[in-house]
Amino acid sequence: MNPINIQKMAIAFGLLAFGFLAVGSVLMGSRVITGVIRGGLGALIFGGLIWGFANLFLQEDEDASIQDMSEDGNNPDKGAQLDETA
């Protein structure tokens, strides 16, 4: 996954957490400034968690294409499994 997409996903989760916590806190009786602070901290925590886990689990392995390639061009087993009926 592209690093920009991971950042966008983290920002989206952070904004969702901010809105949910800020509005929910105000609706449950806290003051507006307390709701905004609580929402901001929730956005930092949840956005950071998503960013970290997405970087850890969704980034492609850089060595994946290199691991499957044979480094030696003189492989003695090359063509050994071919069908010889043609």
Give me the chain's average pLDDT, please.
Answer: 83
42 lies in some domain: yes
DSSP helix/strand/coil, 67? helix
Percent of the chain with pLDDT strictly greater than 70? 69
pLDDT at 28 over 60: yes
- Specify the DSSP element, H or E, that contains 15: helix 3-27
Backbone torsions φ then ψ of 74, nearest 5 degrees: -105, 60
Q: Is residue 77 part of a domain?
A: no
Better-predicted residue by pLDDT, 40 or 77 = 40
Which of 67 and 85 is assigned the larger pLDDT?
85
Task: Provide the whole-model pTM.
Answer: 0.64
Give me the mean pLDDT over the 50-59 stretch: 89
Instruction: Give the C-alpha separation, 12 to 19, whole Å.
Output: 11
Range of the domain at 26: 3-57
| Residue 77: predicted pLDDT | 66
Count of domains observed in the chain:
1
